[in-house]
A and B are shown apart, each in its own frame.
Chain A
Amino acid sequence: MLDSYLQLAVAETFLQPTGPIARAQLDHLNYVVILTCIAIVPALVALPLILFRYRRKKAGDRYRPNWDSNLGLEVAMWGLPIVVIFLMAISLWSITQRLDPYEELGKDPLEIKVIGLDWKWVFLYPEEKVAFVDELIVPVGRPVELEMTSDTVMQSLRISALVGQIYAMPAMTTKLNFIASDAGEARGMNTQFTGRGMWRQKFLVHSVPTDEYQQRIAEARQSPITLNEQTYAILAQQGTAEEAKTPLGITVLEGPLETQGTATVVAERDVPVGQGIAMRLPEPKIFQRVLARYKTGVPMTPETQPGSPSYDPAKASLPPLTAVRMEM
């Protein structure tokens, strides 16, 4: 009973890293904590001692009402924080450069395009010609590069056990590079507030051996559902991935949540972090066309803007890439 409370189901945090970046972040956290303690522990220890020693009843002849400066003490007071901060600044500089989320972590990274929607993530594998909703499958040991945008308001994609987070913003792209060193599952989610269903916008990252990865991709290619303009417009409606299943024509089976196995459409309705949706992706330019939507020179309307309460999938078509009129 108790251990169900203390045990996180999947790698939820960078305190349980499953990749080298999160591991380096954890090490840096420890370093920062220890270094800062050098400066603050003296203050925390001194206060009770001072209060005790100089309490009114007992201060007696230790009372020195006019004492208000001391050069040596002054040097120490400025010196200690300066030294601590100097040391920390050095490590801050180097680790920030080293853990650049834009830097590819090796040759030939797996390129995945990510579109943030209300309240689900769409992961496009253009080369493999498959896509997953709220499910990310990556091969262990191979660098991964996510290129992200949002097709609604700003979001923030975080995979704690692997790398951390970066915003995904409409009409813009950002990148997040990571590599999974351990096989297993990690939690990914949107951390930026985006309205009613934001806290359901979570997904599982499966880090799997290469052969299993190939197998899952192959299975996804057999999916009965295709990601095209029509199904994309349905996904873009406000709602979680679970809620999108019925309009997509997926039968949601009741039953225990199976997190292993392939990303299939089987999921229990009551489990909020259910299984993702695997889709075929015959048209790999969807990502670019989502970006193009905001650059045609034609203003968005409540009917065409995903995230708007009056969004209407029937009216919101994605423009062809040739419609782009503006550069940003």
Chain B
Amino acid sequence: MLASLFGRLNWDSIILVKEFEDPDLQLLITSGAAAAIPLGGIFLVLLLWYLKWWKPLLGWLTSVDHKKIGVMYIIFSVVMLFRGVVEAVLMRTNQAVALNGGFLSSDHFNQLFTTHGTNMIFFVAMPFLIGLINVAVPLQIGARDVAFPKLNSISLGLTGAGGFLITISLLIGQFSTGGWTNYPSYTGKLVNPGPGVDYWITAIGLSGIGSTLTGVNFAVTIYKMRTKGMKFMRMPLFTWTALATSILLIFAMPPLTAACVMLGLDRYLDFHFFTNDQGGNLMNFINLFWMFGHPEVYILILPAFGVMSELSSTFAAKRLYGYTSIVAATMCIAVLAFFVWLHHFFTMGQSTTVNAAFGIATLLISIPTGVKIFDWLATLWGGRIRLNTTPVIYLCGFLVLFVLGGFSGIILANPTLDYQVHNSLFLVAHFHNVIIPGTLFGILAGIHYWFPKMFGFRLMESYGKVTAWLWSIGFVITFMPLYPLGLMGMTRRTVDYTDPAYVPLMLVSGAGSLLLGLAFLFLIITFWRSIVNRKQLVTPIGDPWDGRTLEWWTPCPVPEYNFAVLPEVDSRDAFHTAKERGDAYAPIEKYEDIKIPSNTYFGLIIGILGCGLGFGLVWYMWWMAAGSFLAALATIIVYAFLPEREQVIPAEEVRRVDENWRREARETYGVTRDDEITEANKGLARPDVVPG
């Protein structure tokens, strides 16, 4: 009875129990630091209970406000980034001393690169970007919320369920060792019967559905919810890239979900999609995975490009150079992204004609990408660049380092060269070289830039700048040595090696990773010190950077309904134009009641049931899996019949808040960009006098 209740879960699956019965330093090192997350989670729940903070927490978790959902995505990602960085530093330091064996056993190392990769892609980079998109896009297009607020909350719930599964695998059982790509037949039931692969399938499957829904939500939001006058060719660049990413999400996530389901069918119900025998073929998984995987890298990079576009024009105080070119390049990339997936397996034995065709298609993508780099340089050209700000450091780090990443990408696009460097550290260097200076810098700069919109105060520039420099320098020291190592033949995913020639560069790289760990620490310190000093950093009037787009035309923090009166747009940088005209904060005559959707438990319930479904499947607790699934179906049906609940904010209330804000803006003197990073910056930009 009990056995069927707990499926294949038993006491020994629980790492802590195992550790207690048979203490093992290895296990303690590897799982110890990272296990802080689930344990910390339990601690947090108890703490909240004690502090009686349940109410506000529930208020957040059930919120459908796009800004709150965005913030929750971002907090989730920071927590997951902690784990990813700890694991990365462990791997790097292990390899630094791994000539003929380091301090990690191979089994632990294999789990580390698998969880690091899976976690960083699906639970750090994606939710970070989706969080930023949530925060910024509705504001940028002058909307009150996204098209489907409830769906937004469901997406968050599903992402959270995926994150729960990959995190709980630290405590109960273990995660897959098959890498973030999780290729069968290594991940088939015969070779890897344990729960690890099933954790991967369920975590990726659930969060993948969440991401697809996010794609639908934002594509519709951007198509349908733009304010009056916001024509396509007037949209801010970040919104354009969010649109491209949404379209990519809609078309790229389903192949991954399908691959997960098929691998699941192989493992649970003895199907033969990807098995060695019975006509199964693992090549189909590899194709499906990369049909998702390549567009995925553009899902990750395009919004970062969007952030960089916003930053270059805002911090050079200048119009974006080549708007049309950049939009065209973005959309070109989004389309081409679907036609290059095969470059991830040039070595699978297909004909040279196929390889050459996909190699050339890959080269083609570098054309619009190169154009964008030139466009950003031209945007800086003729500007007044504020070199003393954090975002500009990220921007410059991005421009230099991303170009180098593109350089190695072009080398990899040549099938003949890929025969040599495929699966080597050269590849690892390449994708970190685009993902860290590209995606991660974009994310961190974006957080710095929009932080006042989320919380009402700026981040401290002093710590912010140190953080940005640490990420940049740490990146260079950690990853540049991997290029020569890869050319020298060192493969990826290896716990140790036997060739002394690798040692010096490995030591450098290991030292660099410590700097990256420090960079993460400084990121946290930046948040912490800024929260402590928030009184001095507030920017209530809402425009701390002399912004050009609509999101800066709101107070900080932004009211629930975003805009008291939806703005009308007559040009590209509408807010900038209004400021030049001098009527940005002019009084408004007419206010109306604003209806906003009420909080809902829908997303939270789906998220929790998602955890149950995944956990039940992993441990063969069929009652839990089936129960969660049926309950989720029932929830969806019930909510479909419930009447929409809305909250009405009366016109008078809106008027009071908005008039106060406008009056304060008119009466405040404001700061020029010279005092931008001082306490004097209350979020009102004074027109800049250009020195003679």
Query: Does A232 lie at the interface of the complex (its beta carbon under 8 Å from any beta carbon of B)?
Result: no
Q: B residues within 8 A CB of A199? A: 106, 491, 494-497
A289 contact set on B, CB distance < 8 A: none
Task: Report B-chain residues with C-beta under 8 Å of the C-beta of A78.
Answer: 325, 367, 371
Contact call B692/A51, Cβ cutoff below 8 A: no
The reply to whether B503 and A5 contact each other, CB–CB distance below 8 Å, is yes
Q: Mark B235-270, 1 if CB is under 8 A from A, else 0.
A: 000000000000000000000000000000000001
Select which of B272, B352, B373 is within 8 A of A43 by beta carbon. Answer: B373
Between-chain CB contacts (< 8 Å), 30 pairs: A25-B420, A36-B411, A46-B377, A47-B400, A54-B316, A56-B673, A62-B382, A65-B317, A65-B318, A67-B321, A70-B378, A77-B322, A80-B370, A81-B371, A85-B364, A92-B356, A92-B363, A93-B360, A96-B352, A153-B185, A158-B420, A164-B419, A164-B420, A167-B345, A174-B349, A189-B489, A191-B491, A199-B497, A301-B190, A328-B279
- Interface segment out of the listed A97-105, A214-222, A258-266, A275-283: A97-105
Q: Is the CB of B356 within 8 A of A93?
A: yes
Cα distance A9–B404 in the bound complex, in angstroms: 31
Known A28-B416, A169-B283: A197·B403 in contact at CB below 8 Å: no
Contact: A164 with B416, CB < 8 Å?
yes
Chain A neighbourhood of B499, CB < 8 A: 8-9, 12
- Which B residues from 313 to 363 make CB contacts under 8 A with A? 316-325, 345, 347-349, 351-353, 355-356, 359-360, 363
Known contacts A55-B387, A196-B107, A328-B281; 6 additional CB pairs below 8 A are: A61-B692, A67-B321, A77-B322, A165-B423, A199-B491, A300-B275
Residues of A within 8 A of B559 (CB): none
Question: Chain A residues with Cβ under 8 A from B647's Cβ?
Answer: none
Is A4 within 8 A of B380, CB to CB? no
Query: Given that A32-B410, A77-B325 are known contacts, is A82 also in contact with B367, CB under 8 Å in the complex?
Result: yes
Contacts of A82 in B (CB 8 A): 367
Segment at the interface with B among A109-117, A122-130, A133-141, A302-310:
A302-310
CA distance A290 to B59 in the complex (A): 61
**A7 CA to B186 CA, complexed, in Å:** 35
In Å, the complex CA distance between A187 and B406 comes to 29
* Chain A interface residue bracket vs B: 35 or more
Residues 186-203 of chain A, each 1 if its beta carbon lies under 8 Å from chain B, else 0: 010101111111110010
Number of residues of chain B lying within 8 A (CB) of chain A: 105
Q: Are A8 and B501 in contact (CB under 8 A)?
A: yes
A160 part of interface (Cβ distance < 8 Å)? yes
**B600 within 8 Å of A (CB atoms):** no
Q: Assess whether A14 is in contact with B420, with CB atoms less than 8 Å apart.
A: yes
Tell me the B450-506 residues at the A interface (CB within 8 Å). 487-489, 491-501, 503-504
Are A43 and B185 touching (Cβ within 8 A)? no
- If A56-B385, A77-B375, A302-B193 touch, does A160 touch B489 (CB 8 Å cutoff)? yes
Cβ-based interface call for A152 (8 A)? yes
Q: Give complex CA distance A191, B427 in Å.
A: 12
Interface: B442 (CB within 8 A): no
The reply on B381 being an interface residue by CB < 8 A is yes
Tell me if A294 and B277 are in contact (CB < 8 A). Answer: yes
- The answer to whether A193 touches B186, judged by C-beta atoms less than 8 angstroms apart, is yes
Q: Is B686 an interface residue (CB 8 A)?
A: no
Q: Does B414 sit at the interface, judged by CB under 8 A?
A: yes
**B316 touching A97 by the CB < 8 A rule?**
no
**A199–B363 alpha-carbon span in the complex (Å):** 32
Given contacts A36-B407, A43-B374, A169-B283, contact A51 B414 (CB under 8 A): no
Residues A25 and B191 in contact in the complex (CB < 8 Å), given A43-B403, A65-B319, A170-B276: no
Q: In the complex, are the beta carbons of A28 and B500 less than 8 A apart?
A: no
CA distance A189 to B380 in the complex (A): 48
A167–B278 CB distance below 8 A: no
Q: Within 8 Å CB of A32, what residues of B?
A: 410-411, 414, 417
Closest 5 CB pairs of A and B: A164-B419, A174-B349, A191-B423, A81-B370, A199-B494
- Determine whether A299 belongs to the interface, using a CB cutoff of 8 Å to chain B: yes
Which residues on B sit within 8 Å (CB–CB) of A307?
185-186, 190-191
**A256 proximity list for chain B (CB < 8 A):** none
Report A-chain residues with C-beta under 8 Å of the C-beta of B495.
Answer: 199
| A164 CB contacts on chain B under 8 angstroms | 347, 416, 419-420
A183 is an interface residue with CB less than 8 A from chain B: no
How many angstroms between the C-alpha atoms of A302 and B495 in the bound complex? 27
Question: Is A54 touching B356 in the complex (CB atoms < 8 A)?
Answer: no
* Residues in chain B near residue A314, CB distance under 8 A: none
B316 neighbours in A (Cβ, 8 Å): 54
Residue in chain A with minimal CB distance to B501:
A8
CB contact between A305 and one of B191, B378, B404 (< 8 Å): that residue = B191
B536 in the interface (beta carbon within 8 A): no
Q: Are B352 and A100 in contact (CB under 8 A)?
A: yes
Contacts of B7 in A (CB 8 A): none
Is the CB–CB distance between A85 and B367 below 8 Å?
Answer: yes
Which single member of B355, B366, B404 contacts A96 (CB below 8 Å)?
Answer: B355
